[in-house]
Amino acid sequence: MLLKKIEGIVDIAKKTIVGRRANATGLITLTPESKQAIEMDKVSKGNVIEASTIAAIQAVKETPRIIPHCHPIPLEGCNVTWEWENNSLRCSVEVVAHYKTGIEMEAITGVMAGLLCVLDMVKSFEKDENGQYDNTIISDVRILEKFKSD
């Protein structure tokens, strides 16, 4: 007797290939010390923006290995941008492809990996006197746009 049918990857065989684009963003709130260390390139693990950009791009490419129901998609482009908003650093990721299914999961996965890499690199600046990260916040993570051409 079948207890439960568990769906695998959605069948997209009959869908047509179209141009697709997705944009996602997120924010990490840091201490003033972290911001200064990043801006002055004084983080012992290396250049935070460069490493976190690579982490975001890597995550975009590895999304189907991280999120079980995502299809492997032949990506055509990925742009990562960083902007300071006071002591918060915003990561935005744009992904472009021509394929049968959307790429918003790739964009948001890239954002999360980029922000997590920032945290990993500056966590020594972020710890409070008890070794906790009470003031470090990853927030505002969202898909800004999902575009599909006709």
Could you give the residue numbers annotated as active site?
A: 120
Which amino acid appears at position 6 of this protein? I
| Burial classification of residue 32, based on how many CB atoms lie within 10 Å of its CB (0-12 exposed, 13-18 middle, 19 or more buried) | exposed
- Please report which residue ranges of the chain form alpha helices under DSSP H: 32-39, 48-66, 104-126
The C-alpha atoms of residue 45 and residue 40 are separated, in whole angstroms, by: 13
